[in-house]
Amino acid sequence: MKPIRLVNGFLTVGLWTLVSRLLGFVRDIMIAAYLGTGPVAEAFLVAFSLPNMFRRFFAEGAFNMAFVPMFAKKLEGDDDAQKFAQDAFMGMIVVLTLFTIIGIFLMPALVYMMASGFYGDDRFQLAVEYGRLTFPYIIFISLAAMISGVLNATGRFMAAAAAPALLNIVFIGAILFSALMGRPASDALGMGMDEMLGLHVGSSLALSVPVGGIAQMALVWWAAKRAGFPLTFSRPRWTPELKRLAIIAGPAALAGGVVQINLIVGRQVASFFEGAVAWLNYADRLYQLPLGVVGIAIGIVLLPDLSRRLRAGDTAGGRDAFNRACEFSLALTIPAAVALLVIPVPLVSVLFQRGAFDANDTLNTALAVAAYGVGLPAFVLQKAMQPLFFAREDTKRPFYYAIAALIINAGFAIGLSPVIGFIAAALGTTFAGWGTVALLWWGARNMGEAASFDDRFKRRFWRMLAASALMGATLWIAATIMTPLFAIATVRYAALAILIGIGIVSYFGFGALVGAFRLSEFKRAMRR
């Protein structure tokens, strides 16, 4: 994959991810308006996090990190890639079905594992009920992630990148439908309107989760069939290649498990502070926007490309792909991190403060946004550096680094929470992210030229920092002047759009001025 095609792949995945994340914002704005940070909101967020946690463990983490390089190398070597994908598909169906049945049965234990602070109040039972409704999602979304790996390895990124948008569309439809049906029901049952409406919205959201998973799986399955990889139901077989896949995926599964334990640590800490689970979730949505648009795109496109280059012995091409991935990701995420640090309150107040979401929720969520913003470049660099290991089928060292990150995260989150409260969970995540980057860089030092930074990256990196600092100063001045506008309902959205526009224009202007990048490179990739 030539550098321009590599950037084109990043943009394809990134733009579709942006569409999905924007729809996710609409979804979360509606959840915040109807549920705020109350018990129904926290119960649903914990219940939805359970299948998502295991999805990352089974599919997007361990399985795909092992499956994509093996599948990409089979494509490069003209091996029977279709047969390998079919066997993996059926193997996942068997394992995931059994796991889902067990998870539904053990749901009270899983909820306690995620949020023991809920135990003894209404949130716990609600989270158990919602968890049993949402948990089958893991089957459909994990299969969708596996099929997406097939598409990504063949250079077809659009369907896999577009699929997550379907889940958010289903969510938005569920909220609108339940809000419409919930109002007359609350009157008929004699319950408080807000209370009954919240329960309707929460139940509808939980039911819509597996429906959204089915829609996502159907889209990528259809795309894979059109690409020449029809995956059908057949008799499961334990082949030598699946055994090798399991051996390679084992350490990655353990690493994925450690990463998920990091998430559990943060959520456990937050569950002991009323409203904190929701504050961290809404903050997570804001920093996940640039992370999803850039970081996920980098990881999806770079891994199969590096795997093919290693198979072909193209060390110089691999180095160029790695450097351009790091350069592209930092060019977009360093200014995003600065923006999250400088203007978190305007972002949160305009996007979320309405209905059940009040000013106190805004301030706490903005604090979490700033804490996550410090770690944003680290989270993206991880996506660019991990393929250096996974493309070589090295899943052991990332596991060891994940263990170290877990210790860092737990130390900060648990140790500091009695002193600084719920924000310790966000800071633990950020410090663990930077610790992981340091360990990945240290581990890649013996990989030779392919894992080294070239002169172009070194020259541009410092200029990106300078352009981002100048943009941050510009944003701070503009936000200070525009503060009264963010409280006026009729102009607040336009004011925020103008503020973001000032940030974008100033960054690209300063960046072009100091030589951080060339605008023509972005224009050329966009045209392609």
pLDDT of residue 463: 92
Least confident of 3-12, 203-212, 374-383: 3-12
Instruction: Give me the chain's average pLDDT, please.
Output: 80
Q: How many angstroms separate the CA atoms of 507 and 293, rounded?
A: 18
Give the model confidence (pLDDT) of 214-261 as tens digits.
999 999 898 888 888 788 777 777 777 777 777 766 666 666 556 667
Give the model confidence (pLDDT) of 271-322 as tens digits.
888 888 888 888 888 887 777 666 666 655 565 666 666 666 667 777 777 7
Average pLDDT over residues 185-212: 66
pLDDT of residue 186: 39
Asked if 415 and 496 sit in the same domain, the reply is no
Token pair in block for residue 203:
């139940």
**Of 355, 282, 503, the residue nearest 34 (C-alpha):** 355
Asked if 94 and 226 sit in the same domain, the reply is yes
Picking from 400, 424, 453, the residue at the C-terminal end of a domain is 453
pLDDT of residue 193: 46
Asked if 443 and 493 sit in the same domain, the reply is no
Asked if 87 and 233 sit in the same domain, the reply is yes
Picking from 453, 471, 486, the residue at the C-terminal end of a domain is 453
Judged against a pLDDT cut of 70, whether residue 171 lies above it is answered with: yes
Asked if 442 and 489 sit in the same domain, the reply is no
Give the model confidence (pLDDT) of 426-454 as tens digits.
999 899 989 988 998 888 777 766 667 88
57 falls in which pLDDT band (50, 70, 90)?
Answer: low
Domain coverage including residue 506: 461-528
Token pair in block for residue 70:
């093996």
Asked if 420 and 475 sit in the same domain, the reply is no
| Residue carrying the six token digits 């409280």 | 487
Asked if 336 and 473 sit in the same domain, the reply is no
Burial class (CB in 10 A: 0-12, 13-18, 19+), 233: exposed
Judged against a pLDDT cut of 90, whether residue 90 lies above it is answered with: no
Asked if 373 and 437 sit in the same domain, the reply is yes
Asked if 171 and 106 sit in the same domain, the reply is yes
Q: How many residues does the chain have?
A: 528
380 falls in which pLDDT band (50, 70, 90)?
Answer: confident
Asked if 261 and 307 sit in the same domain, the reply is yes
Least confident of 9-13, 406-410, 465-469, 476-480: 9-13
E strand spans, 427-505:
none
Asked if 394 and 469 sit in the same domain, the reply is no
pLDDT exceeding 70 applies to what percent of the chain? 79
pTM greater than the 0.85 cutoff: no
Least confident of 6-10, 95-99, 175-179, 352-356: 6-10
Our count of domains for the chain comes to: 2
Picking from 395, 418, 453, the residue at the C-terminal end of a domain is 453
